[in-house]
Copies of this chain bind each other. A is one copy, B any other.
Amino acid sequence: MVVEHPEKTKKLMPKLLAFMDEHVYPAESVYAAQLDEERWRVPPIMETLKAKAKAAGLWNLFLPDDKLALGLTNLEYAPLCEVMGRVPFAPEVFNCNAPDTGNMELLWHYADDAQKKQWLTPLLAGEIRSAFCMTEPDVASSDATNVETSITRDGDDYVINGRKWWITNAAHPDCTIFIVMGKTDPTAARHQQQSQILVPRDTPGVTIVRKLSLFGFDDAPHGHCELLFENVRVPATNLILGEGRGFEIAQGRLGPGRIHHCMRQIGVAERALETMCRRVTSRVAFGKPLAEQGAIRQQIAQSRIEIEQARLLVLKTAWMIDKVGAKEARSEIAMIKVSVPMMTQNILDRAMQVHGAGGFSEDYGLSYAWAWARALRMADGPDEVHAEGIAKRELRKYSNQSS
């Protein structure tokens, strides 16, 4: 085991760190103020930052394609992604934000040339945003085969009917394209019933029913929307990869998506611990700094340990995906999915507690980060489902033994 960063990462890291210091951290208060002024608009500073990032060569770092991007492996990207994760809006600055990254990877892998030209190109340029429409309110969507939205062939078109919710980005002003998962053939074999199809947001029949809040956060300007698709008609050429390939595409999309979330969560956790340490070294209660209270010191040590362990497991997972592919690494992916957001959530909880009531407000960013970490224990399937998969593969080693 060698713990050092790969060479490419070593080169990019100082540039990224400098960019964060020079441009991103100072922009945090600006971004918040602009958002407060008008919530469902992209804060103008975002486009300024994106232009600077592009100019600095810090753009599309997530994509392992050395023509379209820098061609970083997961392992090379991971430490950079962690740094971006320290500020909620930072990944977007570098065009590395979810769910767009997952959608871009999906299109890069599975879309045909015409689809790529129409949607991947402007996404990679950061000109438009996208949404991935899988989760439905009426079924347990952790089992992807449950989706009930119908995608029905009608002449040269497909017609889509169904209800989706928790569709992140759908309310973003620049979001122009939805990737929708539904069933083209409910009578086919269980994993061949689903397909994925491109639906421009302005297609007639697409309605944003409401914006859901996460705890009390509306997550503007991206939003988590409930959507209704009523007789939504798109050309048959909008289908991705072919009928019945939807489940396969979903699997391919979710693996790397999970690891990106976890990389960013390490950054969230690091910043939470930093925020906690700064607070306790400066705040006095009952005659001494909080930092001198033994119980708080034990929490700081525990947090440091948890971060170190989590980061190493994320890096190992990245290394495995690069080496043997996401399918062979699915236990590792599940392990970080189950353990990393829980870790982040716990550290954020401790950080909030030392901030007094202010910790729950918008003033320190902790409560928002907590809500996201909590939500990630559900996103892409609840922890319990992933743990089940880990157990299944662990137990399989012993399945042939006699009793």
Q: Is A360 an interface residue (CB 8 A)?
A: yes
Assuming the contacts A212-B362, A218-B216, A305-B335, asked whether A143 and B286 have C-beta atoms less than 8 A apart, the reply is yes
Q: Is A141 an interface residue (CB 8 A)?
A: yes
Q: Is A37 an interface residue (CB 8 A)?
A: no
**Neighbouring B residues of A112 by C-beta, 8 Å:** none
**Neighbouring B residues of A48 by C-beta, 8 Å:** none
Q: Check if B368 sits within 8 Å of A216, measured CB to CB.
A: yes
Which residues in chain A, 304-354, are within 8 Å of chain B measured between CB atoms? Answer: 304-305, 308-310, 312-313, 315-316, 319-320, 331-332, 334-335, 338-339, 352-353
Q: Check if A308 sits within 8 Å of B281, measured CB to CB.
A: no
Q: Check if B387 sits within 8 Å of A282, measured CB to CB.
A: no
A54 to B388, CA, bound (A): 44
Which residues in chain A, 117-175, are within 8 Å of chain B measured between CB atoms? Answer: 135, 137, 140-143, 146, 165-166
Q: Is A103 an interface residue (CB 8 A)?
A: no
Q: Is A208 an interface residue (CB 8 A)?
A: no
Q: Check if A277 sits within 8 Å of B215, measured CB to CB.
A: no
Give the Cβ gap from A6 to chain B, nearest Cβ, in Å: 8
Q: Check if B390 sits within 8 Å of A305, measured CB to CB.
A: yes
Q: Is A52 an interface residue (CB 8 A)?
A: no
Output the residue of A286, A294, A392 with the most chain B CB within 10 A.
A294
Q: Check if A140 sits within 8 Å of B388, measured CB to CB.
A: no
Chain A window 359-389, contacts with chain B (Cβ cutoff 8 Å), 1 for yes, 0 for no:
1111000011011001101110011111111
Q: Check if A278 sits within 8 Å of B3, measured CB to CB.
A: no
Q: Is A34 an interface residue (CB 8 A)?
A: no
Q: Check if B137 sits within 8 Å of A213, measured CB to CB.
A: no
Q: Check if A281 sits within 8 Å of B401, measured CB to CB.
A: yes
Stretch at the interface among A19-27, A57-65, A295-303: A295-303
Q: Check if A216 sits within 8 Å of B356, measured CB to CB.
A: no
CB < 8 Å: which of B218, B295, B302, B361 contacts A214? B361
Q: Is A33 an interface residue (CB 8 A)?
A: no
CB < 8 Å: which of B302, B338, B358, B397 contacts A305? B338
Assuming the contacts A213-B362, A301-B387, asked whether A281 and B315 have C-beta atoms less than 8 A apart, the reply is no
CB < 8 Å: which of B277, B286, B310, B388 contacts A309? B310
Q: Is A280 an interface residue (CB 8 A)?
A: yes
Output the residue of A218, A308, A353, A382 with the most chain B CB within 10 A.
A308
A contact residues, range: 35 or more
Q: Is A66 an interface residue (CB 8 A)?
A: no
CB < 8 Å: which of B310, B331, B359, B378 contacts A357? B378
Output the residue of A300, A389, A401 with the most chain B CB within 10 A.
A300
Which residues in chain A, 25-62, are within 8 Å of chain B measured between CB atoms? Answer: none
Assuming the contacts A316-B3, A394-B304, asked whether A371 and B378 have C-beta atoms less than 8 A apart, the reply is no
Output the residue of A75, A297, A377, A389 with the most chain B CB within 10 A.
A297
Which are the 10 A-B pairs with shortest beta-carbon distances? A216-B216, A294-B294, A216-B217, A140-B285, A301-B387, A312-B312, A309-B309, A297-B391, A301-B390, A282-B403
Task: Point out residues on A near B: beta carbons under 8 Å.
Answer: 1-6, 75, 135, 137, 140-143, 146, 165-166, 212-218, 224, 273-274, 277-278, 280-286, 291, 293-298, 300-302, 304-305, 308-310, 312-313, 315-316, 319-320, 331-332, 334-335, 338-339, 352-353, 356-362, 367-368, 370-371, 374-375, 377-379, 382-392, 394-395, 397-399, 401-403
30 A-B pairs whose Cβ atoms sit less than 8 Å apart in the complex: A1-B6, A1-B316, A2-B2, A2-B319, A3-B316, A137-B358, A140-B283, A142-B285, A143-B286, A214-B216, A214-B360, A215-B216, A215-B367, A215-B371, A216-B216, A216-B367, A277-B398, A282-B401, A295-B297, A298-B388, A298-B391, A300-B395, A301-B334, A301-B335, A301-B386, A304-B394, A309-B310, A312-B316, A353-B382, A360-B371
